[in-house]
Homo-oligomer: A and B are copies of this chain.
Amino acid sequence: MSAAAKIRLFAEMALVPGTEAVLPGAASHYLCTVMRQGAGSNLAVFNGRDGEYDCTLVTPHKKNAVIRVNRQTRPFEAVPDLWLLFAPLKKDCTDFVLQKAVELGAAKIIPVLTANTASGTVRLDRYQAQAVEAAEQCRRVDLPGVAAPCRLDELLSGWEPSRRLFLMDETGKGAPAATAFQAEAGHPAAVLVGPEGGFSAGEIDRLYALPFVRGISLGPRILRAETAAVAALSVWQSVAGDWITREKN
């Protein structure tokens, strides 16, 4: 909705008020070439660890623009400890899931390869670029992590058991989402959404046998995979995450 008109950029760099610094290449390109900003223009920069800073473009350059860091405008703030595990979908749907997961405050996004996962190739660099862009838009000051794709069985065998793994179970056997999320609020969490073809019966059995897995139902209608991902993240944030208080950055 009405994002601030001011340009907001992620840049992997130190941000020290009162100093000048060179913007990395991609950020310089975006600011000076794509957005055609000139000397004196105002922008917000975050580096994923120190909060957000008001900055001024001093020397425009397509690769090595110089900015002055004026002052911190927001402190660093982590999102809640919620991961999204999703089986890559068709390109449009994957793009959509990535963008929405960042807006909805997923701390980490892990592409998971399951028996029925359709997409053979995962373009990790592209996924990461999309996550950065979404973080810039939605005003996150952290950088959402996008992990390399991982096979479901590998992911499960290395799982830290204190993190609840909420399985979006389309068979309807799971518990109602809000109740289940709320009952385990305070625990690190992950929501797992299967591919268009669903999980295999073997995957479902293996998942339910694990002590940290909780089966979840998202109601009586059939949801597409991307809808299930967005719905699960939204409901979790609203009953166990940072939508409980009314603070707005």
**How many subunits of this chain does the assembly comprise?**
2
A231 part of interface (Cβ distance < 8 Å): yes
Q: With the chains together, A138 CA to B238 CA distance in Å?
A: 24
**Do B178 and A247 touch across chains, with their CB atoms under 8 A apart?**
no
Interface of A is mostly: loop
Q: With contacts A178-B239, A230-B227, A234-B235 known, is A3 near B247, CB below 8 A?
A: no
Q: With the chains together, A178 CA to B176 CA distance in Å?
A: 14
- The interface residues of chain B lying within 8 Å CB-to-CB of A178 are 178, 235, 238-239, 243-244
**Which residue of B171, B234, B248 is within 8 Å of A171 (Cβ)?**
B248
Stretch at the interface among A43-51, A55-63, A99-107, A118-126: A99-107
| CB-based nearest B residue for A2 | B198
- The interface residues of chain B lying within 8 Å CB-to-CB of A76 are none
- The interface residues of chain B lying within 8 Å CB-to-CB of A237 are 219
**Do B245 and A197 touch across chains, with their CB atoms under 8 A apart?**
no
| 0/1 string, A56-100, CB within 8 A of B gives 1 | 000000000000000000000100000000000000000010011
Shortest distance in angstroms between A136's beta carbon and chain B's nearest beta carbon? 10
**Which residue of B77, B140, B222, B248 is within 8 Å of A1 (Cβ)?**
B222
A110 part of interface (Cβ distance < 8 Å): no
Chain A residues packing against B (C-beta within 8 Å): 1-3, 77, 96, 99-100, 103-105, 137-140, 170-179, 194-198, 217-225, 227-228, 230-231, 234-235, 237-239, 241-249
